[in-house]
Amino acid sequence: MSLTVPFKQVDVFTEVPFKGNPVAVINFLDTDESEVTQEQLQAIANWTNLSETTFLFKPSDERYDYKLRIFTPQIELPFAGHPTIGSCNAFLEFTKNTTATSLVQECKAGAISLTINEGLISFKAALFDFEGISDEVITGYEQSLGLKFIAAPALLRTGPNWVVALVNDAETCFNANPNFAMITEQSKQNEHSGVILAGPKKNATVRNSYEIRAFCPVDTIDEDPVCGSGSVALARYLQELYKFEETTKITISQGGRLGRDGHIEATIMKEADGNTSYHVAGHAITVVNGKITL
Amino acid sequence: MSLTVPFKQVDVFTEVPFKGNPVAVINFLDTDESEVTQEQLQAIANWTNLSETTFLFKPSDERYDYKLRIFTPQIELPFAGHPTIGSCNAFLEFTKNTTATSLVQECKAGAISLTINEGLISFKAALFDFEGISDEVITGYEQSLGLKFIAAPALLRTGPNWVVALVNDAETCFNANPNFAMITEQSKQNEHSGVILAGPKKNATVRNSYEIRAFCPVDTIDEDPVCGSGSVALARYLQELYKFEETTKITISQGGRLGRDGHIEATIMKEADGNTSYHVAGHAITVVNGKITL
């Protein structure tokens, strides 16, 4: 009993095809969720071989615009950054919606608020803690990366458990040649997902423009090309370090060493109620458009 | 200047979606090869993240039916097995050809003869040598795999440089838990691509039915799900070992440990001129069908 439904492979954090981070999006908006099994969804995500494959379903109630299920080749995730932005873009195209300025995504992590502004799609990150790490572990990561950090790294649980570490400048970050076996060892010992390495760009007048790289060899890939959750982690880390008092946009470049050219905008937002929230925005473009047969 | 052309993602060595080995096939049959650069093709293949992405072009002369260029995420290959079968299937669908029984593929390795018989697509392997390997290296691989071989392994250069090693039965092969770091070390030291581990099935009346696994951690992935070049290597190895005097079909299962269920038919063919040739056949089905925008 074969089922054929709409399919898109979307490039995220770029406006130029093949320069961002891809996500495969499968449109089950007209398929009852009970018609497909967990095993089928996992098998599809294993087969696409992308870091994430997502499935759009009708939402469970009308507070949400759609329900998103997100799978890596191995497991289902409660939430992920670039798949959320890519899937929102696909949802708008699938439903021929050209006017929406805000949407609510239902996913295992809860309700995710999305805003759309001239093609730039933004999500508000869920709350997460800032946690220090020991000097011994910091030294281990410095040795793994073959360089010195300019401030104490911290652990940010933004979905993955990212260690954020800052180096002197963007070039140092770009040129880093990590020892992936050593990072794997450190990550395993400390239950970390990987390291977000960031270096400030020279021309930035305030501390708000960075080159970053995401090393996650303990997972399936050594380096993630363009990373939404890592950008949230960096924004939160910078807030702790520099105590920004006003809403601040952090512009991030990522992926150059992998032949990509990703652009991420992370915002440290000062809310009217005095709280601080974290947002990640990026563009997305559909590269493959067609149908998939199950 | 964006270009939109037909795209298929084809599952190979299976008739059931998501159970085989995928290849992305991009149809440039109506695009002049000079319109796209090596860098563009490589960027697409890097982005799909599949073991191979192929590009169909018009052939350079009328001896060939089409020209195929085959890329991994990192490099262009002269030839590859499952991408050839998947791309032939895509070519037939793109050109709405339902009657062809033989085709000639032009690729960097030369002319590849293909036959099509009730959906089963077969290619004839290029000539390659059978090379012994030293006892020391054999011991290294036994230690890497944590088991004993039942005959001396050999090196077969069937595109990749595969070491073929035989164990007692299909279950031993299926249950092997290799030390990938050790295989990587052995592969690097000896300039091997990886190991084809094979075990005979109990019910086979002649020595012609095998479970195989393809370990290639020195490349981008630890284990290839279903492997055409590895099947050629196994057939050649078995011929050396058992001296089949008549044309013999070797049926191969692969991919179970990765949730796949691939089926490959390798043939040791006794030609009229007394020579022996090697052929690999499998089914292929289109899973994703649409367009790609460059």
| Per-residue confidence band for A20, with pLDDT thresholds at 50, 70 and 90 | very high
How far does B149 lie from chain A, in Å, by closest CA?
A: 29
Query: Which residue from A minimizes the CA distance to B12?
Result: A47
Residue among A11, A49, A258 minimizing CB distance to B50: A49
* Alpha-carbon gap, residue A153 to A215, rounded angstroms: 14
Position B132 scores a pLDDT of 94
Residues in chain A: 294
User: Distance from B158 to chain A by nearest Cα, in Å?
Assistant: 25
pLDDT value for A2? 85
The answer to whether B285 and B14 are in contact (CB under 8 A) is: yes
Å between A6 CA and nearest CA of chain B? 9
Chain A interface test: which of B18, B36, B40 (most A C-beta within 10 Å): B18
Phi and psi torsions of B27, nearest 5°: -95, 100
A147-203 pLDDT per residue, tens: 999 999 999 998 889 999 999 999 999 999 999 989 999 999 999 999 999 999 987
Please give the pLDDT value at position A136.
Answer: 96
For B5, how many CA atoms within 13 A lie in the half-sphere containing its CB?
19
Whether the pLDDT of residue A273 is over 70: the answer is: yes
Q: At a CB cut-off of 8 Å and minimum separation 6, what does A81 contact?
A: A123, A159, A227, A228, A229, A231, A232, A280
Which three-class secondary structure string do you get for chain A? CCCEEEEEEEEECCCCCCCCEEEEEEEECCCCHHHCCHHHHHHHHHHHCCCCEEEEECCCCCCCCEEEEEECCCCEECCCHHHHHHHHHHHHHHCCCCCCCEEEEEECCEEEEEEEECCEEEEECCCCCEEECCHHHHHHHHHHHCCCCCCCCEEEECCCEEEEEECCCHHHHHHCCCCHHHHHHHHHHHCCCEEEEEEECCCCCCCCEEEEEEECCCCCCCEECCCHHHHHHHHHHHHHHHCCCCCEEEEEEECHHHCCCEEEEEEEEECCCCCEEEEEEECEEEEEEEEEEC
Which of A17, A48, A49 lies at the smallest CB-CB distance from B294?
A17
CB B222 within 8 Å of CB B190? no
Which residues in B have their CB inside 8 Å of a CB on A?
A: 2, 7, 11, 17-18, 22, 43-44, 46-51, 181, 258-259, 285-294
pLDDT in tens, A204-223: 767 889 999 999 988 768 89
pLDDT of residue A1: 59
Q: Domain A130-260 belongs to what architecture? A: Roll (3.10)
Model confidence at A67: pLDDT above 90: yes
User: CA of B289 to nearest chain A CA: how many angstroms apart?
Assistant: 5
Instruction: Quote the pLDDT of residue A43.
Output: 97
Given this model, what pLDDT does residue B129 score?
Answer: 83
Average pLDDT on A223-231 reads: 94
- Work out how many CB contacts closer than 8 A connect A with B: 72
> Which residues of B belong to the active site?
52
Which pLDDT band, with edges at 50, 70 and 90, does A113 fall under?
very high
Question: What Å distances lie between residue B55 and B26, B28, B214, B272, CA to CA?
Answer: 5, 7, 25, 35
Contact residues, chain B, for A49 at CB < 8 Å: 22, 49-51
At B75, phi and psi to the nearest 5? -145, 165
Mean pLDDT of chain A: 95
**Residue contact B7–A290, C-beta within 8 A:** yes
- B107-134: per-residue pLDDT in tens? 998 999 999 999 999 999 987 888 999 9
Are the Cβ atoms of B48 and A22 closer than 8 angstroms?
A: yes
Q: Could A287 and B47 be called an inter-chain contact, meaning their C-beta atoms sit closer than 8 Å?
A: yes
Q: Say what the pLDDT of residue B83 is.
A: 97
**What residues in A contact B290, CB-CB < 8 Å?**
7, 288-291
CATH fold match for the domains B4-124+283-293 and B130-260? yes
Domain ranges of chain B: 4-124+283-293, 130-260
pLDDT of B1 reads 59
Residues of chain B with confidence (pLDDT) below 50: none
Whether residue B258 and residue A47 make contact (CB cut-off 8 A), yes or no, is: no
* CATH class as words, domain B4-124+283-293: alpha beta
In this complex, do B46 and A292 lie within 8 Å of one another by their Cβ atoms?
A: no
3-class secondary structure, B62: coil
| pLDDT recorded at residue A221 | 80
